[in-house]
Amino acid sequence: MISIRMVMVLCLIGLALPGWAAGQGRGEDKVHPMLLEAPGGAPVSFFVRLDERADLSGVEELTTKVQKGRFVFESLTEVARRSQAALRQELDRRGVAYRSFWIFNGILVHGNRDLALQLAARSEVARVFPNPEVRVDLPLPRSEGWEMAAIEWGVERAKAPDIWALGITGEGAVIAGEDTGYDWTHPALKAKYRGWDGTTANHDYNWHDAVHSGGGSCGADSPEPCDDHSHGTHTMGTMVGDDDAGNQIGMAPGAKWIGCRNMNVGVGSPATYSECFEFFIAPYPVGGDPINDGDPDKAPHAINNSWGCSQSEGCDEDTLKEVVENVRNAGIVVVASAGNDGSSCETITTPPGIYAAAFSIGATDSGDGIAGFSSRGPITVDGSDRWKPDVSAPGVGTRSSVPGGGYSSMSGTSMASPHVAGLIGLMVSAKPSLAGDVDEIERLIKEGADPKTSSQGCGGSGPDEVPNPTFGHGIINALNTVSSGDADADSDTDADSDADTDSDTDADSDADTDSDTDADSDADGDSDTDSDSDADGDSDSDADGDSDGDADGDADGDADADDDDDDDTNGAGGEGSCGCHKTGAPADANRRSPLAFLIRLM
């Protein structure tokens, strides 16, 4: 028979360890297997995600980017402040290091497996998952054999110069990137940096470093933009780069850029990726507080993400899903590379490119063929069978900026997605009311793309079907896209001005972002598939998968989906593994005249 004294002891234990007395087994059910396998006392970082989520349904009624950004920021931070209070108090009492996140309701804890199990048993905790850091072998750029071209071939192919000819170069638009960092003093980038006024640099609200230890040549918590690799500087060049000395490497040279470093010499994690996304929803000063100092009015219009978070980095299909959806809800387009794990079907497998809330980009070569390394859909890792990529863009032999003031070439879907981010800059500049209307921006890009077909058959797609899981809706075309969106009659340079639409940017609905298997797109289905590209959708620009990131650039044009194993680039850790590839850069002889669009503007 249990004595009264024993009952009292059990009650005291329950009071001393809130939630833990309910049973260790219940906590284990919430803990990711990777954490359960860790030694009990070994140090490990992990996320504690809380049950409560902010209700963002009200964003559907808002019409401007500023309104959406403020609503999302205020809603998410209110829930984080209130619901995390008890857990933070407990961590403070224990002397445990942690970082609170509001972009999703969670806390990054630096502890061990035993602590993870204890915290998982708390009633307000939904799940506990790891935050490992895994090195990604990013390629090094190559400069030999390259000559300066007035306009980089991918920019030319995307028809950006046709829009420049109309006086639209991106003024008023702000484009962001999270990557290995950025050399902000590069001649092609400095004048485009929002933190530079021509005389003085101010990095507050324009730069954040999510790398808090290590950091290579940049060190940790760099107070100014810095690139400890080269990948990030290269991608930013394709978005906005122009040195006014002949190196016209960027899609929107009149736009401004801001940046965040999410990789430590090629090492990323769910925490660094999430921290950068949080910064972009509401930028804050260098060293500032994400909640108290965040200013959503300074958020960018689009974010380029030339990276992927693999399972080895602790990213399953849901790890960043809520994060990306919240960015979209804030009226910001999340542009994501599809990955370099082609040429087989169902090879788009890593966040953020798998998500309906992200705009996923495949890579093409100078002959309009799909790059052999470009990952294909449909998305099967989450069971959705969602058709991705959404569109494709030039990504083979892309010449762009690298740290130190130079230029070099790289290949990968990493190089394709910045073309799309730059295109969004041109769109918002031409029509400021598009700002914040993510659905409409994505629709216009899809409709304006040059349709491309593939007989590879991914996802059961037919040989004449557009969209398809190889090219998506086709290759981006800035002239078609911007002209179909028209221009605001009273267009000014304030691209943050109120939008004139009421589109639903609630990314909780998968159907509104990716067209899935809807073949009723406005593409005509009888696209002009380039004769230089295989019928199966594969191009002659297969990546050889060597550890040096080199692409072989075969000229035989006979690569196919089941050709050989050298079609694969080393995509470990996500899209960052792109190759270097030398290829011709012929000007597009079929560039469409801007006259039709000029009439629309009159």
Q: What is the b/e burial string over 503-521, where b = at least 16 CB atoms within 10 angstroms of the residue's CB? A: bbbbbbeeebbbbbbebeb
3-state secondary structure of 589: coil
Asked whether 234 and 384 are in contact (CB, 8 A), the reply is: no
Burial degree of 391 (CB within 10 A; 0-12, 13-18, 19+): buried
Amino acid at 298: K
What is the CB neighbour count within 10 angstroms for residue 10? 12
Residues 22, 13: Cα–Cα separation, whole Å: 11
Phi, psi at 143, each rounded to 5°:
-110, -15
Tokens of 130: 């790891």
Nearest Cα neighbor of 145 from 553, 566, 556, 569 is 553
Nearest CA-CA partner of 474 in 458, 453, 459, 456: 453
Is 203 a residue of the active site?
no
Length of the chain equals 602
Q: β-strand 398-402 against 406-410: which pairing, if any?
A: antiparallel
Phi, psi at 418, each rounded to 5°? -60, -30
Is-catalytic flag, 473? no
CA 414 to each of CA 237, 495, 508, 549: distance values in angstroms, whole numbers, following the listed order: 12, 26, 26, 13
Catalytically annotated residue among 32, 186, 229, 231: 231
* Beta-bridge mates of residue 402: 406
Prior bond to 586 cis, omega within 30?
A: no
Helices (H), 317-430: 321-329, 413-430
Contacts of 228 (CB under 8 A, 6+ apart): 180, 181, 215, 216, 217, 218, 261, 264, 265
Q: Which of 387, 506, 352 is nearest to 439 (CA)?
A: 506
Report the alpha-carbon distance of residue 557 to residue 522 in Å, rounded: 29
Q: Which residue out of 274, 343, 409, 414 is catalytically annotated?
A: 414
Q: 68: helix, coil or strand?
A: helix
DSSP assignment of 340-372: S--SSSS---STTTT-TTSEEEEEE-TTSPBPT
Q: Which amino acid is at 53?
A: R
**ω into residue 141 within 30 of 0, thus cis?**
no
Query: Is 528 known to be catalytic?
Result: no
Three-state DSSP at 450 gives strand
User: What order of strands is seen across the sheet that includes strand 207-209?
Assistant: 207-209, 256-261, 174-179, 302-305, 333-337, 359-364, 391-394
**Which is catalytic among the residues 179, 390, 450, 538?**
179
Residues labelled as active-site residues: 179, 231, 414
